[in-house]
Amino acid sequence: MNEQNKIAVLGGGSWATAIVKMLSENLETVGWYMRNEQAIEHIKENEHNPNYLRSAELNAEQLDLSSDINTTVANYDVLIFAIPSAFLMKEMEKLSISLNDKIIFSAIKGIVPETGLIIGEHFNQVHNIPLENIGVITGPCHAEEVAMERLSYLTIACQDETKASFVGTSLESWYIKTKISDDIIGTEYAAMLKNIYAIAAGIAHGLGYGDNFQSVLMSNAIREMKRFIKKVHKMKRNINNSAYLGDLLVTGYSIFSRNRQFGNMVGKGYTVKSAQIEMSMIAEGYYATESAFKIKENNGAKTPIIDTVYGILYKNKNPKKEFKKLADNLD
Amino acid sequence: MNEQNKIAVLGGGSWATAIVKMLSENLETVGWYMRNEQAIEHIKENEHNPNYLRSAELNAEQLDLSSDINTTVANYDVLIFAIPSAFLMKEMEKLSISLNDKIIFSAIKGIVPETGLIIGEHFNQVHNIPLENIGVITGPCHAEEVAMERLSYLTIACQDETKASFVGTSLESWYIKTKISDDIIGTEYAAMLKNIYAIAAGIAHGLGYGDNFQSVLMSNAIREMKRFIKKVHKMKRNINNSAYLGDLLVTGYSIFSRNRQFGNMVGKGYTVKSAQIEMSMIAEGYYATESAFKIKENNGAKTPIIDTVYGILYKNKNPKKEFKKLADNLD
């Protein structure tokens, strides 16, 4: 790895925009692929993304924008994917260029619905990227606060420490601190599981549970997350590090989290379908729930919170009754 | 321990009132000492505490109210103290009756300013109560949510499990779940330390740090709490249980926490003195900070957050500069 390794971001949403902003603090040029051509024109003219994170000021001269994924992939070595997991497969189908020798960092939090894999595993198994060329960028970090340049901490995980350091250095600035980790599997599962717990927090809120219950729910959630990740990938990790507990808290306590909002609507009595229609999107945690449930059925982790959310979202169980049962299992 | 052991609450504040309400769900008679005679008359007539937690409905017939601490202590076996730690010494000076054979449960979160001891230690060392007759009632639990009968979880700690169970059973109801623990020292230190971290969260908020930082602060705080408590009383405990992490979260994330409010004012530029005058009270965490700092100076625990709060509150250091330094030490 050296300074010549060029970095591009793939995706046009809030988190992609935030990462472009962070990289722009350090790099002369940032590659940026998004499919929306109108948004690209708007950014070039007005120096902000018209659709997401509008308050983030960008410098158009630094941006090498393209609406052709192949152009961006061809010209850059380090590719940071920030495409919602539900659209990743569709975007990857457009690729005619090999990903050999590319370094892939995932800033996606979730599961690829079609394969049921977390992003790192998906790139490894479906696209044959060797694990040492795969990394993860994880929070706790709301994109909105990056736009406001409020101090935030990122964890950059990669088995190859040099690559983690390179990406970390490219992202850090006076308002971004980075930490590197070799727990690529654990950090990615944490980022996925926290969305399920945010749905749970939302359901609880929708049902009328208060702050006392929320704190008990979160304290049980981090213990459940620890058990789950330990079954999936056993290694020495401190589950109370920011990449795990911090990420859980920033999402579980955020009224802006779409997963929490989705849960809140379900708790208030919306059907899953109508909550999704009302939100005109499907929260990441929805897919994560099914996937996590399947995984734990295989490995036997004790996950009462995931089980409860799964029953409500996929088995049409009654939220009020299920949370009453769950409450008896928390401590 | 048997059903005849009679329980009284000492104190007239929100938390005392909440505990009286919980006990009233189970006991025919609840002893209740408070020094304010007018409040007692009001409760007898109107069935709510006029000064604190007014929304909690009480049944006057069940209450054995007294403004004489000696009357209450004489007539009851299990005494639940919920007097603010700053006033405990003064109240105890009124006692002419022996506490021998009494079972003392502390629902006080903090340090006795005059002795620098947590409540359990204070009763043990100053009043010669044997440790097996001392217990702790701890959250996570806002009194306000008890008044609203929102599901809440308490941890009841005592070295003597029978006593913990007895008090737990007397408190639990359809909206209160209890758990027993033998970690009387750890749970009490957790309840004290969380107030310091709530002050830290408040200072950060006052200085303009956002939710991303808050989640990193809390994730560092729970690790710091673990190190601190381990030095004070080493035993096997899961710091992510509700009595530790849950209690930290319910306070650290609460905009109603007086400790957090106090910190917020300090972060916004109030002097410590003027913040205290403005709030017309001294937040528990203020005393806890000095005491915790002294303890860690003795035992060598690494406590960057406590050190920072101590420097700001007691050494007149600049909050902005100190938090900038602290931020470099978090991860």
Beta-ladder partners of B81: B10, B106
The residues of A annotated with a catalytic role in the active site are 194
Q: Between the CA of residue A117 and those of A103, A233, B53, what are the distances in Å?
A: 19, 14, 50
β-pairing, A7-10 vs A78-81, is parallel
Give the per-residue pLDDT at B255.
79
Rounded to 5 degrees, φ, ψ at B76 are -130, 150
Task: Name the more confident of A16 and B256.
Answer: A16
The reply to whether A6 sits in an annotated binding site is: no
Q: For residue A192, give both structure tokens.
A: 């996925």
The reply to whether A107 sits in an annotated binding site is: no
The single residue of B21, B102, B163, B194 carrying the catalytic annotation is B194
Which of A298, A330, A297, A300 has the alpha carbon at shortest distance from A311? A297
Cis bond leading into A50, ω under 30°?
A: no
List the domain boundaries for chain A: 7-182, 186-329
From the centroid of its chain, how far is CA A192? Answer: 7
Locate the chain A residue with the closest alpha carbon to B225: A240
Which of B150, B158, B162, B225 has the alpha carbon at shortest distance from B1? B162
Rounded to 5 degrees, φ, ψ at A64 are -105, 85
pLDDT above 80: residue A4: no
Q: For residue A326, give both structure tokens.
A: 């769950």
Beta-ladder partners of B8: B31, B79
Same fold, A7-182 and A186-329: no
Give the per-residue pLDDT at A282.
81
Contact A215 B249 (CB under 8 A): yes
* Chain B touched by A150 (CB under 8 Å): yes
Which of A216, A331, A223 has the alpha carbon at shortest distance from B145? A216
Structure letter (DSSP) for residue A133: G
Alpha carbon of B223: minimum distance to chain A alpha carbons (Å): 7
Residues of A in contact with B241 (CB under 8 A): 219, 223, 331
Residues sharing a CB contact under 8 Å with residue A109, sequence separation 6 or more, in sequence order? A85, A138, A191, A192, A194, A195, A284
Q: For residue B3, give both structure tokens.
A: 């059903």
Burial B115-124 (b: 16+ CB within 10 A, else e): eebbbbbbbb
Alpha helices in chain A (DSSP H): 14-24, 37-46, 69-75, 85-92, 119-126, 143-147, 161-171, 184-207, 211-232, 247-252, 258-267, 272-279, 284-299, 304-314, 319-329
Q: How many Cβ atoms from other residues are within 10 Å of residue B59's Cβ?
A: 11
Which of B99, B323, B89 has the alpha carbon at shortest distance from B214? B323
Locate the chain A residue with the closest alpha carbon to B154: A331
Give pLDDT tens digits for B95-154: 999 999 999 999 998 889 888 899 999 999 999 999 999 999 999 999 999 999 999 999
User: Residue B289 carries which side chain, given as an amino acid letter?
Assistant: T
From the centroid of its chain, how far is CA A297? Answer: 23
Count CA atoms within 13 Å of residue A46 on its CB side: 13
CA distance A208 to A203: 9
Please, is A256 exposed, middle or buried when counting C-beta atoms within 10 Å of its C-beta (0-12, 13-18, 19+)? Answer: exposed
The reply to whether A262 sits in an annotated binding site is: no
Give the per-residue pLDDT at B4.
66
pLDDT above 60: residue A3: no
CATH level 2 (architecture), domain A7-182: 3-Layer(aba) Sandwich (3.40)
Give the per-residue pLDDT at B281.
77
Alpha carbon of B266: minimum distance to chain A alpha carbons (Å): 19
Beta strands in B159-314 (DSSP E): 176-181
Q: For residue A22, give both structure tokens.
A: 């962070």
CA distance B232 to B295: 8
Answer whether CATH 1.10.1040.10 is correct for domain A186-329. Answer: yes
Per the listing, tokens 């919306």 go with A270
Residues 227-266 of B with CB under 8 A from A: 238-242, 245-247, 249-250, 253-254
Using an 8 Å Cβ cutoff, are A95 and A128 in contact?
no
Give pLDDT tens digits for A48-64: 999 999 999 999 999 99
Using an 8 Å Cβ cutoff, are A214 and A201 in contact?
yes
CA distance B189 to B195: 10
CA distance A106 to A10: 10
Q: How confident is the model at residue B280 (pLDDT cuts 50, 70, 90)?
A: confident
CA distance B57 to A331: 27
Give the per-residue pLDDT at B2.
53
ipTM of the complex: 0.95
Q: Is A295 left (phi over 0), alpha (psi -120 to 50) or beta?
A: alpha
* Chain A touched by B173 (CB under 8 Å): no
Give the per-residue pLDDT at A111.
86
Give pLDDT tens digits for A152-210: 999 999 999 999 999 999 999 999 999 999 999 999 999 999 999 999 999 999 999 99
Q: If residue B284 lies in a helix (H) or strand (E), which one and from where to where? A: helix B284-299
Contact A151 B210 (CB under 8 A): yes
What DSSP letter does each residue of B187-220 carry, written as one string?
Answer: HHHHHHHHHHHHHHHHHHHHHT--HHHHHHHHHH
* Chain A touched by B67 (CB under 8 Å): no
Q: Between the CA of residue B283 and those of A265, A284, B84, B272, B289, what are the distances in Å?
A: 37, 41, 10, 11, 10
Give pLDDT tens digits for A77-117: 999 999 999 899 999 999 999 999 999 999 998 889 888 89
Alpha carbon of B153: minimum distance to chain A alpha carbons (Å): 7
Give pLDDT tens digits for B145-186: 999 999 999 999 999 999 999 999 999 999 999 999 999 999
Alpha carbon of A284: minimum distance to chain B alpha carbons (Å): 20
The reply to whether A259 sits in an annotated binding site is: yes
β-pairing, A134-138 vs A152-158, is antiparallel
Beta-ladder partners of B153: B177
The reply to whether A325 sits in an annotated binding site is: no
Q: Is A128 left (phi over 0), alpha (psi -120 to 50) or beta?
A: left
Nearest by CB to A219, from B145, B148, B240: name it: B240
User: Residue B185 carries which side chain, given as an amino acid letter?
Assistant: I
Q: Is B268 a catalytic residue?
A: no
Cis bond leading into B140, ω under 30°?
A: yes
Give pLDDT tens digits for B219-271: 999 999 999 999 999 999 999 999 999 999 999 998 778 999 999 999 999 99
* Chain A touched by B149 (CB under 8 Å): no
Using an 8 Å Cβ cutoff, are B92 and B127 in contact?
yes
Give pLDDT tens digits for B287-300: 999 999 999 999 99
Beta-ladder partners of A154: A178
Using an 8 Å Cβ cutoff, are A84 and A13 in contact?
yes
pLDDT above 90: residue B3: no
